[in-house]
C-alpha cells in the first residue's frame, strides 16, 4: 500500500520526481507520452494549490542524450498550459533561491539530477539518503511525491533517497502504472504468448528471456537487441552484424550472456532473417543475412522478417511488446515496428506495449491506443514488473497499513 497525492493536505511545498527522460535527436528533445502523463499528476497537484518543484533526469553521463532539462520545461509548459520555470541548477544556491521564492501554484523544473554527484550510482536507499542532493533539498519541502514509475527500477538518490527522510506519496503515474503492470504479471493464458523484443538495451532484454521462459512461448527479436543476438549467432552460422557505438559497447559487456541465452533458448528465439539499411541514395535498402557487414549499421528488420512476425502475432492469444524493431522515428525504418503493431491492433488478442520510447510510435503513425489492452510509458521498469522483480522506487513508497 502507498499513500497517494489525495492524502496530502492542500497548499504544501512539494518536491515531485517525474520521469521525462526522452529521445534526443540532433540535440532536440522529442516529446513523448511521458510528458502528457506527468502533466496529469501536476494538474491534480495544482488543483490543490500546492507549490511544486520537479526533479527529473535525462540520458546518462557520456551519452549524446545527456542534456539539460531546459527544453523539457517548455514541453511540459505546453502540455500543462501553465508555466513551468526552468532552473539551471539542481541543489546549489541558485536552486535554493528559486525554491525559496516558490508560491502556491508555481511550478519549477530543476536541472538534470544526473548532473549531481550523488544521484548515481545505484546504492541502497539509506546510503542515497545521505547524499548532498537529498540532504540539501529535503528540508525545503513538506513532502515528496514519487511519480517516476518508469525510473523506479533505479536505486538513485532522487528516487529512493528522499522517501527515507520525509513524507512520501505516490503520484498519479506511479499509481496507475503500478496497478496495471502488476495485474498483467498475474494473468495466465491458455493459447500462445508471443513477445516482441526489440529496443536498444541488452540489459533489459536478457532477463526477460531468462525469467519469462515459462510464461512466453516465443520471442521475436529486433532492434539493437535483435542485432546483438544475431552477432551472438556469429560463430555458428558466420553472420557478421555490426552497428553504431551503442552496439559495440553492449556487445563487449554482454557477449557471454547473449551467447549463453541464445544457446539455451534457441528454439524459442526468432531472429531477423533480413535487415534494412540506408543505401547510397539515402533510401531504404534491404539485405538477407548473407549480405550484412560490420561496416553498415542496420536500422530496421527487413520486410520478410516483419511479415513473419506479423503472422506469429496473428496466431497468438497474448502479445507483449518491449522496444521497437527499428529506428521508427525515421519513416524509412519504421516498417518493422509499424507492421507488427498494426498486426497486433487487428488481432483479437490480449496486448501490452511497453518500452521507454516505443509508445511514441502511436502518435507518429496514427496507431490507436484503444486497439491495445495497455500501453505503458515505462521501459526497464515495465520489464521488471513483468518478471516479478520488485521496483525499489515503489518499495520505498510503501508502508504497512
Nearer to ligand 3PG, 305 or 358 (CB): 358
Is 59 annotated as ligand-binding?
yes
Q: Does the footprint of ligand 3PG cover residue 358 (CB under 6 A)?
A: no
Cα–Cα distance for residue pair 342/203, rounded to 1 Å: 27
Q: Which of residues 210-249 bind ligand 3PG (CB under 6 A)?
A: none
Cα–Cα distance for residue pair 237/230, rounded to 1 Å: 10
> What is the smallest separation between the CB atom of 150 and ligand 3PG, expressed in angstroms?
5
C-alpha of 171 from chain center: 18
Nearer to ligand 3PG, 194 or 200 (CB): 200
Is 379 annotated as ligand-binding?
no
C-alpha of 356 from chain center: 2
DSSP 46-102: HHTT-EEEEE---S-TTSTT---SHHHHHHHHHHHTS--EEES-SSSHHHHHHHHT-
Nearer to ligand 3PG, 51 or 381 (CB): 381
DSSP 320: E
Nearer to ligand 3PG, 32 or 316 (CB): 32
Cα–Cα distance for residue pair 244/262, rounded to 1 Å: 22
Shortest-Cβ-distance residue relative to ligand 3PG? 21
Is 357 annotated as ligand-binding?
yes
Nearer to ligand 3PG, 200 or 316 (CB): 200
Nearer to ligand 3PG, 77 or 113 (CB): 113
Q: Does the footprint of ligand 3PG cover residue 19 (CB under 6 A)?
A: yes
DSSP 331-372: GGG-HHHHHHHHHHHHS-SEEEEE-TTTTHHHHHTT--GGGS
Q: Does the footprint of ligand 3PG cover residue 21 (CB under 6 A)?
A: yes
DSSP 194: E
Is 57 annotated as ligand-binding?
yes
Q: Which of residues 98-117 bind ligand 3PG (CB under 6 A)?
A: none
Nearer to ligand 3PG, 223 or 302 (CB): 223
Helix pair angle (223-232, 202-211), 10° resolution: 70
Q: How many CB atoms lie within 10 A of CB 386?
A: 24
165 and 134 in contact (C-beta within 8 Å)? Answer: yes
Strands 24-25 and 274-278: unpaired
Of 11, 28, 49, 60, which one interacts with ligand 3PG (CB under 6 A)? 60
Half-sphere exposure of 258 (CA within 13 A, CB side): 26
Q: Does the footprint of ligand 3PG cover residue 326 (CB under 6 A)?
A: no
Lay out the site mask for ligand 3PG across 362-401 (x = CB under 6 A, - = otherwise).
-----------------xx---------------------
Lay out the site mask for ligand 3PG across 140-179 (x = CB under 6 A, - = otherwise).
----------xx--x-------------------------
The count of residues interacting with ligand 3PG (CB under 6 A) is 9
Nearer to ligand 3PG, 150 or 158 (CB): 150
Is 154 annotated as ligand-binding?
yes
Taking the CA atoms of residue 300, residue 306, residue 309 and residue 315 in that order, the dihedral angle to the nearest 10 degrees is 150
Strands 300-301 and 274-278: antiparallel
> What is the smallest separation between the CB atom of 210 and ligand 3PG, expressed in angstroms?
19
Residues 6+ apart with CB under 8 A from 280: none
Binding site for ligand 3PG (CB under 6 A): 19, 21, 60, 150-151, 154, 356, 379-380
Question: Which residues carry a binding-site annotation for substrate?
Answer: 19-21, 57-60
Question: Which residues carry a binding-site annotation for ATP?
Answer: 329, 355-358
Question: Which residues carry a binding-site annotation?
Answer: 19-21, 34, 57-60, 114, 154, 329, 355-358
Amino acid at each position: 500500500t502507498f499513500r497517494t497525492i489525495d492524502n496530502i493536505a492542500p497548499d504544501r511545498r512539494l518536491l515531485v520526481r517525474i520521469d521525462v527522460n526522452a529521445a534526443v535527436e540532433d540535440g532536440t528533445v522529442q516529446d513523448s507520452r511521458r510528458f502528457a502523463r506527468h502533466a496529469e499528476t501536476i494538474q491534480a497537484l495544482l488543483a490543490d494549490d500546492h507549490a511544486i518543484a520537479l526533479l527529473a533526469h535525462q540520458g546518462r553521463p557520456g551519452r549524446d542524450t545527456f542534456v539539460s532539462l531546459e527544453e523539457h520545461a517548455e514541453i511540459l509548459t505546453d502540455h500543462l498550459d501553465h508555466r513551468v520555470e526552468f532552473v539551471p541548477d539542481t541543489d546549489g544556491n541558485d536552486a535554493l533561491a528559486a525554491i525559496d521564492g516558490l508560491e502556491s501554484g508555481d511550478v519549477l523544473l530543476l536541472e538534470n539530477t544526473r548532473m549531481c554527484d550523488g544521484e548515481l550510482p545505484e546504492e541502497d536507499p539509506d546510503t542515497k539518503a545521505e547524499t548532498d542532493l537529498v540532504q540539501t533539498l529535503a528540508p525545503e519541502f513538506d513532502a515528496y511525491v514519487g511519480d517516476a514509475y518508469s525510473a523506479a527500477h533505479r536505486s538513485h538518490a532522487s528516487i529512493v533517497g528522499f522517501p527515507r527522510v520525509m513524507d512520501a506519496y505516490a503520484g498519479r503515474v506511479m499509481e496507475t502504472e503500478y496497478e496495471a503492470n502488476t495485474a498483467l504479471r498475474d494473468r495466465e493464458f491458455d493459447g500462445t504468448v508471443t513477445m516482441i523484443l526489440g529496443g536498444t538495451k541488452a540489459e533489459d532484454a536478457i532477463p526477460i528471456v531468462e525469467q519469462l521462459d515459462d510464461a512466453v512461448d516465443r520471442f521475436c527479436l529486433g532492434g539493437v537487441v535483435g542485432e546483438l543476438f544475431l552477432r551472438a549467432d556469429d560463430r555458428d552460422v558466420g553472420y557478421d552484424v555490426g552497428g553504431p557505438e551503442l552496439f559495440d559497447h553492449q556487445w563487449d559487456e554482454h557477449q557471454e550472456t547473449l551467447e549463453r541465452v541464445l544457446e539455451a533458448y534457441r528454439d524459442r528465439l526468432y531472429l531477423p532473417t533480413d535487415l534494412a539499411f540506408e543505401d547510397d541514395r539515402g533510401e531504404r535498402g534491404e539485405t538477407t543475412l548473407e549480405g550484412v557487414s560490420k561496416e553498415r549499421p542496420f536500422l530496421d528488420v527487413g520486410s520478410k522478417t516483419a511479415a513473419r512476425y506479423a503472422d506469429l502475432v496473428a496466431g497468438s492469444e497474448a502479445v507483449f511488446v518491449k522496444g521497437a524493431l527499428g529506428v521508427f522515428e525515421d519513416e524509412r525504418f519504421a516498417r518493422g515496428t509499424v507492421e507488427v503493431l498494426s498486426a497486433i491492433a487487428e488481432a483479437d488478442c490480449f496486448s501490452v506495449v511497453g518500452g521507454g520510447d516505443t509508445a511514441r510510435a502511436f502518435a507518429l503513425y496514427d496507431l490507436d491506443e484503444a486497439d491495445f489492452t495497455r500501453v505503458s510509458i515505462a521501459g526497464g521498469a515495465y520489464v521488471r514488473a513483468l518478471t516479478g522483480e520488485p521496483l525499489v522506487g515503489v518499495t520505498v513508497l510503501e508502508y504497512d497499513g
